[in-house]
Structure 1
Amino acid sequence: MNHPFLRYWLPVLIWMGVIFSMSTGTFSADHTSRFIGPLLRFLLPGYPEHDIAVLHGLIRKAGHVTEYFILGLLFFRALRGNARQGWQLRWALCTILAVAVFALSDEFHQSWVASRTASLVDVSIDSAGGVLALIAILLKNRFFGHANSGLA
């Protein structure tokens, strides 16, 4: 994959498609509770149903952070391209903006799905995932140096 678009931007677009597909009814809380709930009950026998429901919610929110953490890594990598330096503030700011705008569009999409609800809290959680990706890149570059391979 030597073509810059294929190497840097296609992974971003594919991951955005993955996130978009997870915004459908298939990944609503009602559907994910069908397999996460029984798994939690198996792993935590005797836990009250309320606690299982709270854990299910936390797992779902962790999924939001993870999805957008990966998007942040991929977007920063695409903006950086073949540049020698490992960090530029403008790449970071563009990454945050892109992640937040995509999170907003994702929540707008969910507002049209009967079994999903749009939430500005989720936009914040999603955006936090992108910010965590930038922090990880910054720490990696500071402590391990920058090599122009891999994600960042």
Structure 2
Amino acid sequence: MPRHRSPAREALASQLGGCSAGPIRLGYGMRISRQALHDWLPSLLWMALIFSASNDAGSAQHSSRLFEPLIRWLFPLMVQARVDEIHYLFRKCAHLAEFALLAILVWRAIRHATPNRPPPWRWSQAALALLFVALYAASDEFHQMFIPGRCGQVSDVFVDASGGAIGLGLLWLVGKLRKRW
């Protein structure tokens, strides 16, 4: 069942050339509904950003150029080995955060694609979102094997999938605290 759109949105869409009418034609007989595009576009854009970042050879050196001076300024007496450990943890936390956000965006798209307005939280939708994130993490690590200066690691797939699980767990917790599900 399509979602209700306000008269103001319909008027705006008609002024923009009838943007709300019908599916978008992609060519070769492929079509996608505007609602599906609206639901999945944030996930796809975030995935493109992750792909772009993993395409960067030597990304550890790039973040180190920003991170190390900050640590040196905050803790001038810290030995280099400790700075390297903190930088490694920082990078892993960044992976957790980027895949947590991806899981939330994918969950949102899956939830919106479910017909008949489902309840706000379904474990099956969360599991599907987590599976999607884990598969994307595996494909990201596989992709990195072909980038000079990068190497795909199975442990990073687990870190990324854990980030997805943390994101979905936080989403569930926020919903519980707000008494939505």
Residues 52-91 of structure 1 aligned to structure 2 (within 5 Å):
52-81=83-112, 83-91=117-125
Larger deviation, residues 27-36 vs 89-98: 27-36
Q: Percent identity?
A: 35
Larger radius of gyration: 2
**Distance apart, 1:84 and its partner CA:** 4.5
Aligned counterpart in structure 2 of residue 37 of structure 1, from 63, 68, 73: 68
Unaligned regions of 5+ residues in structure 2, if any? Answer: 1-8, 10-19, 21-33
Q: Point out which structure has higher relative CO (alpha carbons under 8 A, 6+ apart).
A: 1
1:74-101 Cα shifts (integer Å, max 9, x gaps):
0000011173411112101111110000
**Distance apart, 1:117 and its partner CA:** 1.3
1:41-81 Cα shifts (integer Å, max 9, x gaps):
11211111001000100110011000100001000000111
| Alpha-carbon spacing, 1:124–1:44, altered in 2? closer, same or farther (3 Å) | same
TM-score by length of 1: 0.89
Equivalenced residues, count? 147
Unaligned regions of 5+ residues in structure 1, if any? Answer: 148-152
TM-score by length of 2: 0.75
- What value does the CA root-mean-square deviation take over the aligned residues? 1.9
| 1:95 counterpart letter in structure 2 | A
